[in-house]
Chain A
């Protein structure tokens, strides 16, 4: 049965369709009914003050956080269904973290191969071959045998991207991927993200890199107080926002 929106239809253009997402911690309501719909191949930017719920929204999209209410479809699969195999569903949804969260006891190659071996059950040879290809995509094929502690922040984050990318997800969620980086290292990570976009990867990125948003984002969403206040192209949101709250926030991050 098709619903009027066409949700659940095979090969629809909507890759991620989160509707009415709410998330509360005890008395605190962090998300108050957020809709996040992402088309195939789209790069969506999430901006908003700290505590506005950007991280929580991203983490609800792969149920790393359990939404208190709402519907969540990824490529037509209902992630909130009681029968969902969430581990299987998560293969389709890559995640990149602000603090990288690389496994410090494994080298770059080991970080990328772990899920390939445990989740996709590839042989060591196949996993390493695929991991090397993926590390090449983030320009780190020479660092395969380096441990996270031996890599710069920018290199670590690119390993983090490779770890997500290796599973060939349909969408990658990035939670402030460059906020923990020294300014001179930001460019290498943004460069990789830009290349992913050119390859057609669908991404949702919580980030305040405005210059990058202008040149690469299809859409910018401004989140505040657990609701989406405004959305539009980067140009619209950054230079001619309708809402005073948006303009005020944009002023702040532009200094």
Chain B
């Protein structure tokens, strides 16, 4: 029992690796601050394209969205990071990750927005158009705000997923939280840094999960 605690809950080890872990946390925060807006905004683009009145655009968008939802994000990151240089495109690591996340997260967020748009009754847009508002004014002021409100729990849940996915940046050597924890583990020959990282993730994500659950309850 003591051996188990010494391997996983070694406070002494946790304390020693804390600076490394905090540096990783800071890097993860930067990743989230960059990638989440990219996903949320990209999702709006994906939603607009996949609901386009031009059939060819709509089909192409739906095809791309399906593809990137089914494509493993880890492989996607490696492709963009290691593949683009072969095409003569040299990008900073963060830009590679941003592209991969843009493709993946936009697809997921786009589908959530699309469900949200569908949940707004047609009478809402009709009322707005009957007052002389243009199609885009109607979308921005009437349809979209209600769509977002209706799918807020799903948007939050997907945000949690995205935050967890940022750990994939570790495979292209970005020293984010999990990467730092794993490095600390190999330096200390002890697994406690991983538990510490898990606790940090839990402390950040659990309130979001709870919030999504409560909103879902209230909207039903």
Please list the residues of chain A having a beta carbon within 8 angstroms of any beta carbon in chain B: 62, 64, 87-91, 93-95, 97, 99, 101-105, 114-115, 118-119, 160, 163-164, 167
Cross-chain contact of B142 among A91, A99, A103, A119 (Cβ < 8 A)? A103
Q: Which chain B residue shows the least CB distance to A103?
A: B142
Are A97's CB and B131's CB within 8 A? no
Given that A119-B133, A167-B131 are contacting pairs, would A97 and B146 also be in contact in the complex, using a CB cutoff of 8 Å? Answer: no
Are B146's CB and A104's CB within 8 A? yes
Are A118's CB and B133's CB within 8 A? yes
The CA-CA distance from A91 to B131 in the complex, in Å, is 6
Are A114's CB and B128's CB within 8 A? yes
Interface residues of B in 106-142 (CB under 8 A from A): 121, 123-124, 126-134, 137, 141-142
Nearest-Cβ distance from residue A111 to partner chain B, whole angstroms: 9
Nearest-Cβ distance from residue B196 to partner chain A, whole angstroms: 42
The CA-CA distance from A88 to B130 in the complex, in Å, is 10
Cross-chain contact of B126 among A64, A102, A119, A160 (Cβ < 8 A)? A64
A-B pairs with lowest CB-CB distance, top 10 = A115-B131, A101-B127, A95-B130, A101-B123, A90-B132, A91-B132, A119-B132, A87-B132, A118-B137, A105-B145
Please list the residues of chain B having a beta carbon within 8 angstroms of any beta carbon in chain A: 121, 123-124, 126-134, 137, 141-142, 145-146, 149
Nearest-Cβ distance from residue B52 to partner chain A, whole angstroms: 20
Are B130's CB and A64's CB within 8 A? yes
The CA-CA distance from A103 to B132 in the complex, in Å, is 15
Cross-chain contact of B146 among A95, A105, A114, A167 (Cβ < 8 A)? A105
The CA-CA distance from A160 to B127 in the complex, in Å, is 9
Given that A105-B145, A118-B141 are contacting pairs, would A87 and B133 also be in contact in the complex, using a CB cutoff of 8 Å? Answer: yes
The CA-CA distance from A90 to B131 in the complex, in Å, is 6
Nearest-Cβ distance from residue B37 to partner chain A, whole angstroms: 23
Cross-chain contact of A101 among B124, B134, B145 (Cβ < 8 A)? B124
Are A97's CB and B149's CB within 8 A? no
- Which residues of chain B have C-beta atoms less than 8 A from A103's C-beta? 124, 127-128, 142, 146
- Which residues of chain A have C-beta atoms less than 8 A from B142's C-beta? 103, 114
- Which residues of chain A have C-beta atoms less than 8 A from B127's C-beta? 95, 97, 101-103, 160, 163
Q: Which chain B residue shows the least CB distance to A114?
A: B141
Interface CB pairs A-B, < 8 A, 26: A64-B126, A87-B129, A87-B132, A87-B133, A87-B134, A90-B130, A90-B131, A90-B132, A91-B131, A93-B130, A94-B130, A94-B131, A95-B130, A97-B123, A99-B123, A101-B126, A101-B127, A103-B124, A103-B127, A105-B145, A105-B149, A114-B133, A115-B131, A118-B133, A163-B127, A163-B131
Are B137's CB and A90's CB within 8 A? no
The CA-CA distance from A64 to B122 in the complex, in Å, is 12
- Which residues of chain B have C-beta atoms less than 8 A from A64's C-beta? 126, 129-130
